[in-house]
Structure 1
Amino acid sequence: MERRKILIATKTYPSISTKYQETVCTAGVLLDDDEKPLQWIRIYPIRFRQLDFDKRYPRWSIISAKIERNDKDYREESFRIDDSSIEIIRKIDTRKNWEARKAFVLPLQFKSIRQIKEQGKSLGIIKPQTIKKYFCKETEREWNLKQQSILYQLDLFEPSVHLEKIPYNFGYEFISQDGDKHRLTISDWEIMELYRKCRDQSRATSVENKEKEALEKVRQKLEDDFLKKKDLYFIVGNLKNHKNSFMIIGIFYPLLIENLNIQTELF
């Protein structure tokens, strides 16, 4: 393994794996020694919630760690990581409308998912030409039987690792720069956590009403706020066993320039 620097751009909500138990997929940017962006990188598998606290890297942090190509994954961006080697260097802030973050990820921007595929890649950031709408869809409320058996085995030895199944998918329908239409779900941990926190903090008296309130707050964030006020980019990645199926694994959301100008004028 070789020690390298990586900018952490996003983490997906934990999933249950028959091989790796609970796993998180991390996407980021591999950096050179001068911290210039080289390529997109996927760190998988990693049991993020079982890492030592000082190694649980936040989003938009630069870390140093020992990594190597995952030779069991055909996707060239996929790397394994030595958990014990993780060192968090610093976090990149949002000053000047995400100027520093843009300098890391936008040089690696693709025109579309089609271009990502044509270049033999499986991971990248794109800017939609038009976002048609936000959507929310109810899904299964429980893990399937195989996943439940894995969770049960984990709980016997690690009682603090309970992983909640979020019973909704959130996503966007959009048109990419080349005119292709897409309907992609969002697996970004931030969005799932937004739903869970809004539900848990609700003062409603029934579970149903707590969920309704949480869903409305997620809609407000992803539709009213993001679609009207943010300059949205999507970090997208494919599924290992379904290489043509992509999902939004992270949202990049600096302010729209017109909103930034209004904000500047106010102060």
Structure 2
Amino acid sequence: MERRKILIATKTYPSISTKYQETVCTAGVLLDDEEKPVQWIRIYPIRFRQLDFDKRYPRWSIISAKIERNEKDYREESFRIDDSSIEVIRKIDTRKNWEERKALVMPLEFKSIQDIKEQGKSLGIIKPQIIKKYFCKKEIEREWKPKQQTILDQMDLFEPSVQLDKIPYKFGYEFISPDGKKHSCTINDWEIQQLYRNCRDRSNETSMENKEKEALEKVRQKLEDEFLSKKDLYFIMGNLKNHKNSFMIIGIFYPPLIKM
């Protein structure tokens, strides 16, 4: 393994698997020794919530860690990480309209999802030409599958404070990319899923149904009312390992919209 610097751009909401238990996919930018952007990178699998607290890297931090290509994943951006080697170096702030964040991310921008595919990549950031609308869909299954719940129960024996909800809704955008193609993509950004959980859990409503309604409305206000009118939106897109042509929004890059 080689020690490298990585900018953490986004983390997906934890998923449950029989092989890795609870895992998170992290996407970011591989940096050179001078902290200049080199390429997009995917770190998977990583049991983020089981990391020591000093190694739980926040979004938009630069970390140093030992990594190597994940040879079991055909996607060239996919790497494994040595959890014990993680060092959080510093957090990139939002001063001057996200100036430093933009300098690290925008040199690696793609024109469209099709552009990502044509370059043989599976991960990248794009700017939608037109965002048609925000959407929210109810999941068919509200609870984890029995095998997944068994894994969570086993984890709880050792870490009873760890609780992972299955989010019973999917959030997303319908948009048109600069090449004129229409897309409808769900969002798997941990930040957005956590927004829903926080709003639901802090609600003063008495019934779970009303708590969820209030949380859904606050997510809509964030993703539709605020983001579509006040933010200069870019989407960090990633594909699925077993469905290479299917892309989802794994992170939203939302510097303030500068009106001329």
TM-score normalized by the length of structure 2: 0.98
Comparing 222-231 with 137-146, greater Cα deviation is found at 137-146
Letter in 2 for 1:228: S
In the alignment, structure 1 residue 19 sits paired with structure 2 residue 41: no
Measure how far apart 1:176 and its partner are: 0.6
How far did 1:153 drift? 2.0
AA in 2 matched with 1:107: P
Where structure 1 has 5 or more consecutive residues not aligned to the other structure, the ranges are 262-267
Amino acid in the other structure paired with 2:157: L
| Partner of residue 217, structure 1 | 218
Secondary structure of the residue aligned to 1:200 is helix
**Secondary structure of 2:46's partner?**
coil
Q: Distance in 2 between matches of 1:146 and 1:244?
A: 28
1:44 aligned counterpart, secondary structure: strand
Measure the CA separation in 2 of the matches of 1:246 and 1:149. Answer: 29
The equivalent of 2:150 in structure 1 is: 149
Matches within 5 A, 1:70-219: 70-139=70-139, 140-219=141-220
Deviation of the 1:111 alpha carbon:
0.4
Report how far residue 161 of structure 1 moved: 2.3
**Structure 1 CA distance, aligned partners of 2:159 and 2:92?**
33
Instruction: Point out where structure 2 has 5 or more consecutive residues left out of the alignment.
Output: none
Please state whether the residue corresponding to 2:249 is helix, strand or coil.
Answer: strand
Which shifted more, 120-129 or 147-156? Answer: 147-156
User: 1:255 and 2:251 equivalent?
Assistant: no
Deviation at 1:151, TM superposition (A): 1.4
1:157-209 CA deviation, whole Å, 9 max, x = no partner? 33222211111000000001111111000000000110011111111111111
What is the match of residue 42 of structure 2?
A: 42
Question: Separation in 2 of the partners of 1:160 and 1:78?
Answer: 31
Aligned to 1:264: none
Runs of 4+ in 1 over 6 A off after TM superposition: none
What is the distance in 1 between the residues matched to 2:189 and 2:23? 14
2:2 matched to which residue of 1?
Answer: 2
CA RMSD of aligned residues (A): 0.8
Q: State the alpha-carbon separation in 1 of the partners of residues 2 and 80 from structure 2.
A: 11
- Paired residue type of 1:193: Q
SS at match of 1:226: helix
Instruction: Specify the code of the residue in structure 1 equivalent to 2:117.
Output: K
State the one-letter code of the partner of 1:51.
Answer: L
Provide the secondary structure at the position in 2 that maps to 1:121: coil
Cα distance in structure 2, aligned partners of 1:57 and 1:152: 26
